[in-house]
Amino acid sequence: MSNMVFLEEALKPGSTIPCYIQPSATLGAPLLRRDVADSIPMSTGNFIKILTMFAPASNDMATKIWSTLDDCEHPRAIKGETKACVSSVESMVEFAASVLGVSTYNLAAFSSPDVPVDGVMTGRGYKVAAVTRVREAGDTMTCHRGSFPFAMFMCHAVNPTRVYSVTLEGEDVDADGAGQRMEVLAVCHLDTSDFHPAKMPLHVKPGDAPLCHFISRDSILWAPATPASAHAAA
């Protein structure tokens, strides 16, 4: 996991970042209406019943379903982290509003649509072409899509954060010339004192500095919709 994070100080035009972004979790998994999603018993105790709903299920699908259910039942949150699974848009919006202390009408959503569906897992170097601060220090919540037959999200908040929109340019050319430039969201956690040492970059200890990570194509970042002073980062 340590290769997924980088120091906030790296977000400067001209710097180079080894880029790791998780692939999209489940291609084509449908979003269910809330009443349908709420009717499905989401627990490992009901694993066989859930598996039957999506029969025939491959071994790979069964493993992913179990893993997702287990993660939802045992969030393994770090100190100060708020974490929960949601299985409908309505429940996601309500959970975001409760975590951020605002009404459901006062939420803004952000994503990284330029990121490839397969993510960026090669660690290839990307040059930072431009950086815009989207959110000053404050509270946000990010929902990552889980591996499941329908759309489920693991939502969590480790605040305070700063959020940037980063334009990245690939340093080497792909065979088809694609994927050379993309705009992606970077979330920076300002207090890392309770992070696990194994999740820190080399030679950086918990609490030493803010840590950032890019969010995948199918992740959603929520923040209060109150105006933020977005500006180009120095």
- 182 DSSP β-pair partners: 168
Cis upstream peptide for 160 (omega within 30°): yes
Q: Could you tell me the two tokens for 64?
A: 């992913």
pLDDT of residue 227: 52
pLDDT of residue 109: 96
Domain boundaries of the chain, sorted by first residue: 6-224
Question: What is the pLDDT averaged over residues 189-208?
Answer: 89
Contacts of 107 (CB under 8 A, 6+ apart): 93, 96, 97, 100, 222, 223, 224, 225
Phi, psi (rounded to 5 degrees) for 36: -70, -45
- The sign of the dihedral angle between the CA atoms of 184, 212, 90, 223 is negative
Q: Could you tell me the two tokens for 128?
A: 């930072």
pLDDT in tens, 16-43: 998 899 888 766 678 888 999 999 888 8
Task: Write out the H or E segment, with its range, that includes residue 107.
Answer: strand 107-110
For 138, the 3-state DSSP assignment is strand
pLDDT of residue 29: 79
Q: Report in angstroms the alpha-carbon separations of 149 from 69, 90, 154, 207.
A: 12, 18, 15, 38
- Is the Cβ–Cβ distance between 123 and 18 less than 8 Å? yes
